[in-house]
Amino acid sequence: MKKTAYITGADRGLGLALTKVFLESNFKVFAGRFMSDWPELDELKKEYDEDLHILSLDVTDQQSVNAAADYIKEQAGQLDILINNAGILKDRSEDLFGEFNYEDMMKLIDTNTFGPLRVSKSVAPLLIKGTSKILANISSEAASLTDSWREKEYGYCMSKTALNMQLTILQNQLKEYEIKVLAFHPGYVRSYIFGEFNQDATIDAIESATGIRNQILKSPAIEEHMFIDYQGNKMAW
């Protein structure tokens, strides 16, 4: 029986790359798709057929999250790996002496912080039944309190720092079930997180996804540092 992976935000960019590399590693992948008009997952489905399940998923909508979890339970009965990848980055020009768009900040928190929590809660019973027992999350160096350097991007940074705190609590609770929680800094990935494709970024999505997959497949011990980059280097909380 093939191992199973559930990847959110799999439409394009890093999420799509993660879907590809886990399919290449002989996983059955449940790919959460937010944008139904984005074609890459459909093209991938033609190649991998029954090993790729495309799920409609909005991580800010509890009903959508629950429906996806129910589908995975019906199809597989258990889950080996969850990768909470879905995330957004809104206005980057937030300035203490200018304007704050608090509505946009709340959307960042809802998507980047509560979104992963909704998804993790929805499939925790399936992860307990799995064999790999990995709950991975795409965080960011922007979450680090120790290495904070930005003078803007309040909403995004706070959403990722709150995510990291969430993950430490999850690890405290899930260690008795032997589930390893991970927070990944994926690097500065060429992706669509800004809306348009970010050509100025330094790392290809496949390179980052391959590194993340390799770190996950090492099955790190629960005692090992949770916050790492895609190459396995420790990140400062």
Is residue 9 domain-resident? yes
* Distance (Å, whole) CA 236 – CA 154: 19
Tell me the average pLDDT of the chain: 93
Residue 78 has a CB neighbour count (10 Å cut-off) of 17
Which of the four pLDDT bands, split at 50, 70 and 90, describes residue 145? very high
Which of the four pLDDT bands, split at 50, 70 and 90, describes residue 36? confident
Determine the structural domain holding residue 154 and report its residue range.
4-229
* Distance (Å, whole) CA 233 – CA 2: 29
* Distance (Å, whole) CA 138 – CA 117: 13
Which residues fall within 8 angstroms of residue 181, CB to CB, at 6 or more apart? Answer: 135, 136, 137, 167, 168, 170, 171, 174, 226
Which of the four pLDDT bands, split at 50, 70 and 90, describes residue 190? low
Residue 3 has a CB neighbour count (10 Å cut-off) of 19
Decide if pLDDT at 91 tops 90: no
Is residue 156 domain-resident? yes
> pLDDT, tens digit, for every residue of 112-137?
999 999 999 999 999 999 999 999 99
Give the burial class of 220: count Cβ atoms within 10 A of its Cβ; 0-12 exposed, 13-18 middle, 19 or more buried: middle
Q: Is 234 helix (H, G, I), strand (E, B) or coil?
A: strand
Is residue 237 domain-resident? no
pLDDT of residue 162: 98
* Distance (Å, whole) CA 144 – CA 162: 10
- What pTM, to 2 d.p., does this model score? 0.95
Decide if pLDDT at 93 tops 90: no
Is residue 142 domain-resident? yes
Which of the four pLDDT bands, split at 50, 70 and 90, describes residue 151? confident
Q: How many structural domains comprise the chain?
A: 1
pLDDT of residue 175: 97
pLDDT of residue 90: 75
pLDDT of residue 196: 62
Judge whether 113 and 142 are in contact, CB under 8 Å: no
CATH of the domain at 41: 3.40.50.720
Is residue 236 domain-resident? no
> pLDDT, tens digit, for every residue of 152-183?
889 999 999 999 999 999 999 999 999 999 99
Is residue 234 domain-resident? no
Is residue 235 domain-resident? no
Is residue 60 domain-resident? yes
Which of the four pLDDT bands, split at 50, 70 and 90, describes residue 96? confident
Which of the four pLDDT bands, split at 50, 70 and 90, describes residue 199? low
* Distance (Å, whole) CA 200 – CA 183: 24
Q: What's the start-to-end Cα distance of the chain, in Å?
A: 37
